[in-house]
Amino acid sequence: MTDTRDAILSVQNVTKTFEGIHALEDVSFDVRPGHIKALIGPNGAGKTTLLNAINGIMPPDRGHILFLGSDVVGNSADKVAGLGLSRTFQLIRMFTINNATVLDNVLLGAHLQFKPTLFESIFRRRKVNKAEKEARDKAMELLRFVGLENAADATPGSLPFGNQRLVELARALMTDPKMLLLDEPASGLNDTEVEGFTELLLSIRQKGITILLVEHNMKLVMNIADDIVVLDFGKKLAEGTPQAICANPQVIEAYLGTTLTECRFEP
């Protein structure tokens, strides 16, 4: 594990129990700033539970989670997001109430920065309008970044599944995160969409945004992750570079199977 002084996120001995069963047991690892760290493991290994603990949805029973040096255990999900830790979900969450558009969905990510008070709404409308325009301009720029600028006025449900994933990613980026937690972002994408998504994640890293990625697509993981944590039955089984993980006999037995065919690296 890296020196926690160099880590943007430090997970320390995190334990979570449901009805006497350990979903997570003394899990520890660090994430370095500007890195892509992948979290892999079989179904039921505790990956999503760990993301829920990190971003405040479901606090751990024991352990510490340091983000930018401060323990965030006990903070609400909104407060954690306000610190710069944003999240996407395995099940896409699109908002359709009142005929909400794709642009509206991305703008929801601005709620942490844009909360006009009653006084501002009544007496300083010009300031509020300026903030609204800036938020819309930023949302449109993010839609261009993910390749969906032409879908701004569409309803989310009319988009292909892969594009809905991109809308959710744009919404997460709208919060100006220092770090992204991505839960199965390539789930349901075809090979072409995965290739495009891979390039997008690398572009996000180039912007200086750190990523913790839960993903089952091993080709994607092995080609973009700086290092990998493997969970199995709620415990950390291994941690290391993609090459080291592919060569780890315990990982092969528990997750990758008896061969290394899933450990492919692009030249």
pLDDT tens track for 230-245: 999 999 999 999 999 9
User: pLDDT for 54-65, tens place per residue?
Assistant: 999 999 999 999
Distance between CA 83 and CA 182 in Å, rounded? 17
Pairing assessment for the beta strands 235-240 and 70-71 based on DSSP bridges:
unpaired
Q: What is the pTM of this model?
A: 0.86
Mean pLDDT is lowest, of 68-72, 125-129, 184-188, 215-219, for: 125-129
Pairing assessment for the beta strands 9-18 and 21-31 based on DSSP bridges:
antiparallel
Distance between CA 101 and CA 95 in Å, rounded? 8
Higher pLDDT, 49 or 111: 49
Q: Which two tokens stand for residue 147?
A: 């390749």
Distance between CA 79 and CA 164 in Å, rounded? 25
Query: Is the confidence at residue 85, as pLDDT, over 90?
Result: yes
Placement of tokens 């370095």 in the chain: 32
Report, as an integer, the average pLDDT of 200-218: 94
pLDDT score of 123: 46
Q: What angle do CA 171, 177, 179 make, to 5 degrees?
A: 115
Distance between CA 115 and CA 37 in Å, rounded? 33
pLDDT score of 264: 55
Placement of tokens 């009319």 in the chain: 158
Distance between CA 56 and CA 38 in Å, rounded? 20
Higher pLDDT, 23 or 259: 23
Report, as an integer, the average pLDDT of 196-217: 94
Q: What angle do CA 9, 12, 18 make, to 5 degrees?
A: 110
Q: Which domains does the chain have, with CATH numbers?
A: 1-84+177-267 (3.40.50.300), 95-176 (3.40.50.300)
